[in-house]
């Protein structure tokens, strides 16, 4: 099927992408491209409350914040907010029943969603057109297929976000001129997640870095699981890093990343914030495929044990596995060794020995 044809760029375009932090960062080059190619098109973005805190400073975007925790009342509030409005185009860039239902409240001449192979929860019933193109690609490349459907083939790989001066001052006061590694050790809290590297391994890496005169900052969110996981790491350390778990805003975390030498993280949103900040990300991937969800500019610095995990636990190759297939085994992250991480660190940092 051919791309859609427009005599003139649409006057208004709505993006429906609520979450999560990583996917919202993947949206940034898409936004940059839309703004450069269609500068007169009014862009509205329906987004989640937490994710909005990261991108709220973006210029030229109307943000419509949806708080999923408020339940049905938030759907009613959105319907009221959008009453009497109609967009030329709606990009349905999230595959989830909540997003599908929200799309019913958004009036648009054209609603573009994912193709059948990548859709679920009856997503195809809610859109008029579907994206096309290769399916075994990175999430960011999938997002760009929405623009290709609109006839936009050029890309502006601009990550757009910068921390504020106050946030930069905050980060500078903590990091100074010393080389600094930020470790964001915990992925999101889900049942059978198994994306977290063992706490003892993190502790060993922290001791190694501090012994080599490298500052270490531990970061993470306020969830009880994250705080407990991080505390277990700290209890195992012989040398203590600066503990900022549950103590930073997303803007402050971005500022810290902008001034750090590199980031160590599993498959979690802050890994993609490292990409936004322009630093190497030593991503720890065994349970999930980094070619699909890894930090976009750090494929050479991340550690990819996913092929070994597939072979060991599922008896599959990457080519034979479903794109996006997870390896759900409690010990899967043990396929990544401390030596693997130290090897990557030596590529990113100056060491005394």
- C-alpha distances (whole Å) from 245 to each of 206, 223, 227 are 15, 10, 7
Q: Are residues 208 and 250 part of one domain?
A: yes
Provide the 8-state DSSP code for 278.
T
Q: Does residue 4 lie within any of the structural domains?
A: no
Distance from C-alpha of 330 to C-alpha of 327, rounded to nearest angstrom: 9
Which of 17, 292, 32, 324 minimizes the C-alpha distance to 139? 292
Q: What percent of the chain has pLDDT over 90?
A: 94
Q: Are residues 273 and 127 part of one domain?
A: no
Q: Into how many domains does the chain fold?
A: 2
Residues constituting the chain: 353
Q: Which domain holds residue 198?
A: 165-348
Q: Does residue 7 lie within any of the structural domains?
A: no
Confidence category of residue 188, pLDDT binned at 50, 70, 90: confident
Over 90: is that where the pLDDT of 221 sits? yes
Q: Are residues 135 and 234 part of one domain?
A: no
* Torsion angle defined by CA atoms of residues 122, 134, 284 and 21, in that order, rounded to the nearest 10 degrees: -50
Secondary structure element (H or E) that encloses residue 339, with its range: helix 338-348
Secondary structure element (H or E) that encloses residue 215, with its range: strand 215-218
Over 80: is that where the pLDDT of 191 sits? no
Over 80: is that where the pLDDT of 11 sits? yes
Q: Are residues 282 and 134 part of one domain?
A: no
Across 85-99, b (16+ Cβ under 10 Å) vs e yields eebbbbbbbbeeeeb
Average pLDDT in the 172-197 region?
A: 90
Provide the pLDDT for residue 49.
97
Provide the pLDDT for residue 2.
80
- The residue among 178 and 312 whose pLDDT is bigger is 312
Task: Dump pLDDT digits (tens) for 46-78.
Answer: 999 999 999 999 999 999 999 999 999 999 999
Q: Are residues 225 and 309 part of one domain?
A: yes
Give the global pTM.
Answer: 0.95
**In this structure, what CATH number is given to the domain that contains residue 94?**
3.40.50.2000
330 neighbors 323 (Cβ within 8 angstroms):
no
Task: Dump pLDDT digits (tens) for 123-158.
Answer: 999 999 999 999 999 999 999 999 999 999 999 999
Provide the pLDDT for residue 109.
98
State which of 80, 115, 149 marks the end of a domain. 149
Q: Does residue 89 lie within any of the structural domains?
A: yes
Q: Does residue 294 lie within any of the structural domains?
A: yes
Q: Does residue 232 lie within any of the structural domains?
A: yes
Confidence category of residue 193, pLDDT binned at 50, 70, 90: confident
Provide the pLDDT for residue 352.
60
Task: Dump pLDDT digits (tens) for 263-314.
Answer: 999 999 999 999 999 999 999 999 999 999 999 999 999 999 999 999 999 9
Q: Are residues 179 and 278 part of one domain?
A: yes
State which of 120, 149, 178 marks the end of a domain. 149
Task: Dump pLDDT digits (tens) for 204-216.
Answer: 999 999 999 999 9
Provide the pLDDT for residue 151.
96
Q: Are residues 192 and 280 part of one domain?
A: yes
Q: Does residue 21 lie within any of the structural domains?
A: yes
State which of 116, 149, 182 marks the end of a domain. 149
Confidence category of residue 335, pLDDT binned at 50, 70, 90: very high
Q: Are residues 186 and 61 part of one domain?
A: no
Q: Is 37 exposed, middle or buried (0-12, 13-18, 19+ CB in 10 A)?
A: middle
148 neighbors 133 (Cβ within 8 angstroms):
yes
Q: Does residue 2 lie within any of the structural domains?
A: no
Q: Are residues 123 and 249 part of one domain?
A: no
325-329 long-range contacts, Cβ below 8 Å, gap at least 24?
Answer: 325/289, 326/287, 326/288, 327/286, 327/287, 327/288, 328/192, 328/194, 328/287, 329/194, 329/287
Task: Dump pLDDT digits (tens) for 249-266.
Answer: 999 999 999 999 999 999
Average pLDDT in the 7-15 region?
A: 96
Q: Does residue 155 lie within any of the structural domains?
A: no
Q: Are residues 254 and 330 part of one domain?
A: yes
Q: Are residues 117 and 242 part of one domain?
A: no
Over 80: is that where the pLDDT of 1 sits? no
Which of 224, 223, 206 minimizes the C-alpha distance to 215? 206
Q: Are residues 207 and 330 part of one domain?
A: yes
């Amino acid at each position: 099927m051919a791309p859609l044809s427009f005599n003139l760029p649409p006057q208004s375009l709505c993006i429906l992408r609520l979450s999560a932090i990583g996917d919202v960062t993947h949206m940034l080059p898409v936004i940059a491209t839309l703004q450069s190619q269609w500068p007169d098109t009014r862009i509205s973005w329906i987004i989640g409350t937490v994710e909005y805190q990261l991108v709220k400073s973006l210029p030229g975007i109307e943000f419509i914040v949806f708080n999923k925790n408020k339940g049905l009342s938030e759907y009613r509030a959105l319907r009221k907010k959008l009453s009497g409005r109609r967009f030329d185009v709606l990009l349905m860039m999230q595959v989830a029943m909540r997003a599908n239902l929200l799309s019913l409240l958004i009036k648009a001449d054209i609603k573009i969603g994912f193709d059948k192979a990548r859709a679920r929860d009856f997503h195809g019933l809610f859109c008029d057109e579907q994206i096309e193109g290769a399916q075994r690609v990175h999430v960011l490349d999938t997002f760009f297929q929405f623009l290709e459907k609109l006839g936009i083939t050029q890309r502006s790989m601009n990550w757009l976000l910068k921390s504020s001066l106050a946030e930069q001052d905050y980060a500078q006061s903590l990091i100074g001129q010393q080389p600094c590694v930020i470790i964001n050790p915990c992925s999101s809290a889900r049942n059978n997640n198994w994306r977290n590297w063992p706490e003892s391994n993190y502790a060993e890496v922290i001791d190694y870095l501090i012994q080599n005169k490298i500052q270490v900052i531990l970061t993470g969110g306020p969830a009880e699981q994250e705080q407990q996981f991080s505390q277990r790491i700290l209890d195992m350390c012989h040398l203590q890093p600066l503990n900022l778990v549950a103590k930073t805003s997303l803007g402050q975390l971005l500022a810290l990343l902008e001034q750090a030498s590199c980031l160590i993280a599993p498959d979690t949103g802050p890994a993609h914030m490292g990409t936004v900040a322009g630093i190497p990300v030593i991503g720890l991937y065994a349970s999930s495929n980094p070619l699909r969800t890894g930090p976009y500019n750090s494929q050479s610095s991340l550690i990819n044990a996913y092929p070994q995990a597939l072979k060991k636990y599922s008896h599959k190759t990457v080519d034979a596995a479903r794109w996006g297939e997870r390896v759900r085994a409690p010990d899967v992250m043990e396929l990544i060794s401390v030596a693997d991480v130290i090897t990557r660190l030596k590529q990113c940092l100056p060491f005394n020995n």
